[in-house]
Amino acid sequence: MSTEGRTGVRRVPVRAHATGAASAALRPVLESPRRPARVLAAFPAGVYLEVRAELEPHVIAVVTGEAVRLPNAMVVTGPVPRAAVGDDASVGDGSIEIGRLSLRAHRWWDPAPPLGRADPPGLARALLLLTGLCAASPRRPGLEGAGAARVLAEGCADASLLRAVTAAEQLVGLGPGLTPSGDDMLAGLLVALRHLGAAAGVGRAVWLADWLAAAVTFDARDRTTPISATLLHCAARGEASGEVLAVLRGLAGRQPLEPALARLLRLGHTSGADLAWGLRVGLAAVTALAERAGGAPGADRTRKADRSGGTVAKAGAGGR
């Protein structure tokens, strides 16, 4: 439409159709009436679209199978559509339209799958292992020395809302890049608090996640890049990339931790290490809070009997 306007060439656009797999987080925006969008960034392995919508995720990553499976991603079967930054696109009525390409989801995946039960002693052991592995890795987070990071870690472990929220607000948008280090650290922390807190029955950790999430997403769109803001919104809901989810499963003892962590640490320049930092601080807070609660109520064997529908991650399962 606008292409024709700019070039003045009249031609009938031939639609090409492609399919792929999409994060279930995209379902609301995909199923809404069509909205305009534009290409925010274009790489060989993916294209980021910004949708003009209040709904989150408002940035959608259209990526190949080799790219990181972000919680706001649609993975396409073939090559990524060719597009340049600023190109028009649209999203809604079941499809993503970029240029002549129309993309539909033939599979949906859950970006926030429940983790199941994890007992606090097991998590404490996982924390030791994770700390050791992170320390041994040459991949370092981008802002490790930052004071705000230290305060955030301490605030979480003490369940000090004031200190944690203040430090978190300072970290939003901090650091260079498309996803600043501060945001990745916060994202890792948010999903760890929510999922591991729910898994261990540490209601206080989920409560902390709710508050931190509200604080960092409140003005994220103004304080950081659009893609990073969207990923913070996703993390606030417990939604994460496949690489982060694998590490969470590893921490919960559901799969080997070391290879999953190695894959995470390889991501981006410092992204993987930043996310791992957040996961470690979140895990440390969950174990500290569990200890403080003195014998968490989460170790009962009737795992699922106390669940009554709804999203487990948010309900905090047996934490009540």
Partner 1 sequence: MDAEQPGTDLVRVRTGVYHDSVSLMRVSRAAGALPGVEVAVVAMATGLNLGIAAELGFTLPDAGPGDLLVALRAADRAAADRAAAEVDGLLEALASRTAGGTGAEEPPRTVRAAARAAGGTATLALVSVPGPHAFAEAMDAVEAGLSVMVFSDNVPVEQEVLLKRRAAERGVLVMGPDCGTAVVGGAGLGFANVLRPGPVGVVAASGTGAQQVTCLLDLAGVGVSHVLGVGGRDLSAEVGGLSALRALGALDADPATELIVLVSKPPAPGVARAVRRAAEGLATPVVTAFLGRSPDDDGGDGDGGDGDGDGPGDLTSAAEAALRALGAEVPEWPAWPAAGAPRAAEPAPRRDGGRVRALHGIYSGGTLRTEAELVAGTGTFTDYGDDAYTRGRAHPMIDPSLRLEALAAVPPGDVVLLDVVLGHGADPDPAERLAPAVAAAAARGTAAVVALVGSEGDPQGLTAQAEALRAAGADVFASNARAARRAARLAGGAR
Partner 2 sequence: MSLPMLSGEPCVITAGAAVLGEALDAQAVPRVAVDWRPPLPGTEADLARVLADPRRAAANARAVERLTSARPVLAGVRPAREALDLPAGTFLHAGPPIDWERASGPMRGALIGAALLEGMAADAREAERLLAAGGVRLEPCHHHAAVGPMAGVVSPSMWMFEVRDAEYGGTAWCSLNEGLGKVLRYGAYGPEVIARLRWMGEVLGPALATALTATGPLDLRAMIAQALQMGDELHNRNRAATSLLIRELAPALVETAGARAAEVLRFAGGNDHFFLNPGMAACKVSADAARGVPGSSLVVAMARNGTDFGVQVSGLGDRWFTGPAGVPDGLYLGAYGPADANPDIGDSTITETAGLGGFAMAAAPAIVRFVGGDVSAAAAATRSMYEITLAEHPAYQIPALGFRGTPVGVDVTLVARTGLLPTVNTGIAGRVAGTGQVGAGLVTPPAAAFTAALAALAREVPAAPLPPAAPAGSAQA
Q: How far apart are the first and last CA of the chain?
A: 54
Please report, as ranges, the residues that interact with partner 2 according to CB under 8 A: 19-21, 65, 69, 75-77, 106-107, 109, 113, 242, 245-246, 249, 254-255
35 binds, among partner 2, partner 1, none (CB under 5 to 8 A by kind): none
Residue 125: Cβ-neighbour burial (10 angstroms; 0-12, 13-18, 19+): middle
Considering only residues 259-318, where is the footprint of partner 1 by CB under 8 A? 301-305, 307-309, 312
Query: Token pair of 287, please?
Result: 């174990």
- For 46-94, the DSSP string reads EEEEEESSSSS--EEEEE-TTS---TTEEEESSSPPP--TT-EEEEETT
Is 15 a residue that touches partner 1 (CB under 8 A)? no
d(CA 234, CA 172): 14
When the beta carbons of 131 and 311 are compared against partner 1, the nearer one is 311
Of 190, 202, 220, 210, residue with least CA distance to 281: 190
Residue 117 touching partner 1 (CB under 8 A): yes
Binding at 24: pick from partner 2, partner 1, none (beta carbon under 5-8 Å per type): partner 1
Rg (CA), the chain: 20
Q: Which stretch binds partner 1 (CB under 8 A): 39-47, 102-110, 122-130, 149-157?
A: 102-110
Tokens representing residue 4 in the block: 């024709």
Residue 126 in tokens: 């996982």
Tell me if 220 sits within 8 A of 233, measured CB to CB. yes
Residue 107: CB minimum distance to partner 2, A? 4
Binding mask 22-41 for partner 1 (x = CB under 8 A): --x--x--------------
- Residue 246's binding partner among partner 2, partner 1, none (Cβ under 5 to 8 angstroms by kind) is partner 2
What is the torsional sign of CA 307, 310, 314, 320?
Answer: negative
Which positions from 236 through 265 interact with partner 1, judged by CB under 8 A? Answer: 254
Gap between the Cα atoms of 71 and 217, Å rounded: 16
Q: In this chain, which of 108, 140, 266, 269 binds partner 1, going by CB under 8 A? A: 108
Q: How far is residue 86's CA from residue 40's CA, in Å, rounded to a whole number?
A: 6
With CB under 5 to 8 Å by kind, the binding choice for 307 among partner 2, partner 1, none is partner 1
Q: Which two tokens stand for residue 223?
A: 């304080």
Q: Nearer Cβ to partner 2, position 69 or 204?
A: 69
Q: Answer whether 37's CB lies under 8 Å from 56's CB.
A: no
- Find which of partner 1, partner 2, none residue 304 binds, CB within 5 to 8 Å per kind: partner 1
Q: Which is nearer to partner 1, 168 or 286 (CB)?
A: 286
At its nearest, how many Å lie between partner 1 and the CB of residue 109? 5
- Residue 84 contact partner, candidates partner 1, partner 2, none, CB within 5 to 8 A by sort of partner: none
Residues at the contact surface with partner 1, assessed by CB under 8 A: 19, 21, 24, 27, 104-110, 113-117, 254, 301-305, 307-309, 312
